[in-house]
Chain A
Amino acid sequence: MPTKHLLRIENLHHSFENEEVLKGISFSLDKGETKVIVGPSGTGKSTVLNNIIRLVPPTRGKIYLEDTEITSAKNINEIRQQIGFVFQDFGLFNHLTAKGNVMIGLTKVKKMDKNEAEELALFELDRVGLKDYANSYPSQLSGGQKQRVGIARALAMQPKLILFDEPTSALDPELTGEVLKVMRNLAEEGMTMLVVTHEMGFARSVADELIFMEGGNIVEQGDPEKLFTDPDHKRTKEFLFQLTNLYGEGEK
């Protein structure tokens, strides 16, 4: 059956050795939507994201990108080009400048002409506010700048959606703002995003839906405001209360 969803996950299971860490996750993402996943450490949030682009192949279940079933698709490298990924530890290529990091996927994967790739790379760096840092190497950038290069690198591939795995949790608190601002702008521009984060301010003001995961299951998902103020499950209330105490409400 064809679907209007951009991304659809059906009954996703994952086991490491004999330990089942995902026990049947299902949700979907429409074009232009931003969904935020929260949950305690070790709950399987990263595993969901890694399963989607098959950096870790899922054990069972189906994932659709538009009409294509991507869990068993042979051309995984083509599918990965359509799904951006932003890593907690940035994952920048250390031997390349900011510009080189953004360009390399264009020249080596998309086989784009070098001048064209450079132009697009500078455009994307400008979009994340880093045009002046195009020739800096990762070691010369702050954490917040590195993560923005990571976002520019994902954007340059012109993906259909971007997955973020705790994009700000490796940053000093004063640097999270600049990264969240870029993500907020992307959401406003209509980018489709799936974000694992503990930034509740971002979740409340940007997310179309909040997904609370625990122990490999989705406990509750829905309108962020509802989950914060009037959740159906006691665990949701406890966890979000804890998070808000720990991280504050953030800028709204």
Chain B
Amino acid sequence: MLDIFMEYYPLFLRGLGVTVFVTIISCFSGTVLGTFLALGKIYGNKFVSALVRLFISIIRGTPLLVQLFIIYYGLPAYGIRLTPIIAAVISFIINSGAYQAEYLRGSIQSISGSQLKAAQSIGMTKWQGIRHIILPQALRRVIPSWTNEFIYMIKYSSLAYVIGAKELMTEGKLIASRNYQFFNVYFIVALIYLVVIVIFVYLFNKIEKKVTIP
């Protein structure tokens, strides 16, 4: 097995690079999207809040694979042609954003309303209060769910192989179709996912400890 890895490691690592890149971009951008969605749902007017609710239920109520296909195979009909990686990243951001919006909403609402009142009492606008007082606390509280989301995203990013994005799973499939060592090749792929996830979980736990308020 080691010999297969030694022979093909540039391909495995290239695939891993794409997987990690796609995951990190999707997760972080998903957090930004999720934050705006959560704020829209909580603080927006009736219209904004209803729109966000609708968006979240559509995204959470349909399979990620279907969303991926609509973006990659469906959009060209409207003149929008995306590379597999871009299509994958976009659909993952949208999907992750919808889930993260719900985690963030819970986290924001768990922060006492008196925090915003106190912020306004010293002359902050509502938006300043949200930005400087509510979000710094809410984002800290959401780190454990965010870590989970990141783990899901690393694994779900393998779905991108169905549209030919050259991430870890796709590279594995290409290698296996060359040497017919399916068991060994996919075993290596699984091992790489496992190692990477363990490393990231360790990192995020460190970060969580570091930013935790006593």
Task: Please list the residues of chain A having a beta carbon within 8 angstroms of any beta carbon in chain B.
Answer: 53, 55, 77-78, 80-81, 84-85, 87, 89, 91-95, 104-105, 108-110, 137, 139-140, 153-154, 157
B-chain residues with CB within 8 Å of residue A93 when the two chains form the complex:
115, 118-119, 133
Interface of B is mostly: helix
Is the pair A105, B214 in contact by a Cβ cutoff of 8 Å? Answer: no
B209 at the A interface (CB under 8 A): no
Q: Do A81 and B213 form a contact, CB below 8 Å, given A91-B114, A93-B115, A108-B128?
A: no
Contact check, B122 vs A94: say whether CB atoms are below 8 A apart.
Answer: no
In the bound complex, how far is the Cα of B39 from the Cα of A228, in angstroms?
A: 51
| Other-chain contact of A94, B128, B132, B137 (Cβ < 8 Å) | B137
Q: Are B114 and A89 in contact (CB under 8 A)?
A: yes
Scoring B residues 106 to 136 as 1 if CB is less than 8 Å from chain A, else 0, what string do you get? Answer: 0000000011011111111100100011001
Pick the residue among A94, A109, A137 that contacts B123 (CB under 8 A): A109
Q: Which 9 A-B pairs have the closest CB atoms?
A: A91-B118, A81-B123, A105-B122, A85-B121, A109-B123, A80-B123, A95-B137, A77-B123, A137-B214
Complex formed: what's the CA distance from A50 to B133 in Å? 20
Find A55's partner among B120, B132, B133 (CB 8 Å cutoff).
B120
Listed by A's residue number, 8 A-B pairs whose Cβ atoms lie within 8 Å are: A53-B121, A55-B117, A77-B123, A94-B137, A104-B133, A105-B122, A109-B124, A139-B214
Contact check: which of A78, A81, A87, A108 meets B118 at CB < 8 Å? A87
Report how many residues on chain B are interfacial, defined by Cβ distance under 8 Å: 19
Distance in angstroms between the alpha carbons of A66 and B125 in the assembled complex = 23
| CA distance in complex: A109, B124 (Å) | 6
Given contacts A87-B114, A140-B214, contact A108 B121 (CB under 8 A): no
Cβ-closest chain B residue relative to A79 = B123
Task: Give the CA-CA distance A137 to B211 in the complex, in Å.
Answer: 13
Which B residues lie within 8 Å of A78 (CB)?
123
Query: Which residues of chain A are within 8 angstroms of B133 by Cβ–Cβ distance?
Result: 93, 95, 104
CA distance A157 to B137 in the complex (A): 23
How many A-B residue contacts, CB cutoff 8 Å?
A: 65
Q: Is B140 an interface residue (CB 8 A)?
A: yes
Q: Chain A residues with Cβ under 8 A from B140's Cβ?
A: 95
Digitize B146-173: 1 where CB-to-A-CB distance is under 8 Å, 0 elsewhere: 0000000000000000000000000000
Nearest residue, chain B, Cβ from A107:
B132
Q: B residues engaging A (CB < 8 A)? A: 114-115, 117-125, 128, 132-133, 136-137, 140, 213-214
Bound-state CA distance A91–B119 (Å) is 9
Across-interface contacts of A104 in B (CB, < 8 A): 122, 132-133
Would you give the shortest CB distance from B87 to chain A, in whole angstroms? Answer: 38
Inter-chain contacts of B114 with A (CB < 8 A): 87, 89, 91
Contact B115 A94 (CB under 8 A): yes
Which residues of B have CB within 8 Å of A137? 213-214
CA distance A211 to B163 in the complex (A): 74
A157 to B119, CA, bound (A): 12
CB of A16, distance to nearest CB on chain B (Å)? 16
| Beyond A104-B122, A108-B124, 13 extra complex contacts between A and B, CB < 8 Å | A55-B117, A55-B121, A77-B123, A77-B124, A85-B121, A91-B115, A91-B121, A93-B115, A93-B119, A108-B128, A109-B122, A109-B123, A139-B213
Q: How far is the CA of A81 from the CA of B121 in the complex (A)?
A: 7
CB pair B213–A157 under 8 Å, yes or no, is no
Looking at A81, A93, A105, the one whose CB has the most chain B CB atoms below 10 A away is A93
For B136, the chain A residues whose CB sits under 8 A away are 95
CA distance A110 to B122 in the complex (A): 10
B98 to chain A, nearest CB (A): 27
Q: How far is the CA of A81 from the CA of B136 in the complex (A)?
A: 22
Question: A92 contacts which chain B residues (CB < 8 A)?
Answer: 118
Assuming the A-B contacts A94-B213, A137-B214, A139-B214, are A80 and B121 also in contact, with contact meaning beta carbons closer than 8 angstroms in the complex? yes
